[in-house]
Structure 1
Amino acid sequence: MPIENLARSDVVTASTDDAIHELAATMQEEDVGSIVITDGDAPAGIVTDRDLTMHVLAEGTDPDEVVAEDVMSEELQTVDHDAGFSEAAGLMSEHGVRRLPVMDAESNLAGIITVDDLNELLADEQQELAEVIRAQRPPY
């Protein structure tokens, strides 16, 4: 199944010069753990709730003095919309990330897939397999 069928298309984005306190408020309002940072229309990085904790709170940085570009992960890993589950999981594992922005055929941001999304799909598939086994199991 292509990632585009699994990914959420409602990606929360912000620009590189948005203040950290704005990002935190947006995460709370949108109930998300990350924001894709864009430079124009192109994804430039990602800021996660963990980034805010580790790079702002833990370091005692004044949040009013920090913008997205200061804390974002710049080595942004993305996945093509037509990639499969295995490729997305492999990229997450190889690069140690939990979120992958999904790019369409024109290299535009089309969605986001998370390790939680992949795990949920696996759980659904396991449930389907369990139903097959239950249907074929002889009565005890």
Structure 2
Amino acid sequence: MLNRAVIKVIEKREFLTSTPEKSVRAVAAHMKEMHLGAVLVVDQPGGKLVGICTERDLAFKVLAEGLDANTTTVGSVMTADPQAIGPDKLFGHALHLMFEGGFRHLPVLDPSGRPIGVISSRDALGLELADFGHELEQRETLTEIL
């Protein structure tokens, strides 16, 4: 899976976008509804990525600071100009960028800078589970042989 293109990891997966002027309460409600940990913030009318806002941003920059979720905009707490990756890059490269950068979500952009998805650190968990399942199968086969 590490050698798969990023597009294969994110295809058929929903992601959330917002404009910077939306309230963090509205964005958080959509994140909860869609079970997502990040929203990609885009400009109008072009739809190009200008930032990312994660559940950690909401917790640390809004809740911990005592800001009003109804009046605080997502643009004021987002990470502006986040690192991103193209859809043709390898999933392993995306994981490396996230590890080196210390972040858990990586926007995937088309050549014009518009978001087409998000790679999450949770995607790597799928790798570990697949490897674990394969290892269990091998152990069961060895047990049967012995």
Partners of 2:62 and 2:68 within 8 A in 1: yes
Q: Does 1:92 align with 2:98?
A: yes
Among 5, 9, 12, the residue aligned to 1:6: 9
- Using the TM superposition, give the Cα deviation of residue 133 of structure 1 relative to its aligned residue in structure 2, in angstroms: 5.5
Match for residue 115 of structure 1? 121
Letter in 2 for 1:28: K
- Using the TM superposition, give the Cα deviation of residue 49 of structure 1 relative to its aligned residue in structure 2, in angstroms: 1.3
Among 22, 28, 52, the residue aligned to 1:18: 22
Structure 2, unmatched stretches of 5+, are: none
Letter in 1 for 2:21: D
- Using the TM superposition, give the Cα deviation of residue 47 of structure 1 relative to its aligned residue in structure 2, in angstroms: 0.9
Structure 1, unmatched stretches of 5+, are: none
- Using the TM superposition, give the Cα deviation of residue 2 of structure 1 relative to its aligned residue in structure 2, in angstroms: 0.7
Q: 1:29 and 1:48 mapped to 2: Cα distance?
A: 14
Task: Report how many residues are paired.
Answer: 140
Match for residue 46 of structure 1? 52
Change (3 A) 1:61 1:107: closer
Q: Does 1:34 align with 2:38?
A: yes
The 3-state SS of whatever aligns with 1:65 is: coil
- Using the TM superposition, give the Cα deviation of residue 11 of structure 1 relative to its aligned residue in structure 2, in angstroms: 1.3
Match for residue 73 of structure 1? 79
Letter in 1 for 2:66: G
Q: Does 1:56 align with 2:62?
A: yes
TM-score for the superposition, normalised by structure 1 = 0.88
Using the aligned pairs only, state the percent identity.
28
Partners of 2:19 and 2:42 within 8 A in 1: yes
Change (3 A) 1:107 1:62: closer
- Using the TM superposition, give the Cα deviation of residue 80 of structure 1 relative to its aligned residue in structure 2, in angstroms: 1.1
Root mean square deviation, CA, Å:
1.9
TM-score for the superposition, normalised by structure 2 = 0.84
Q: 2:94 and 2:140 mapped to 1: Cα distance?
A: 31
Q: Does 1:101 align with 2:104?
A: no
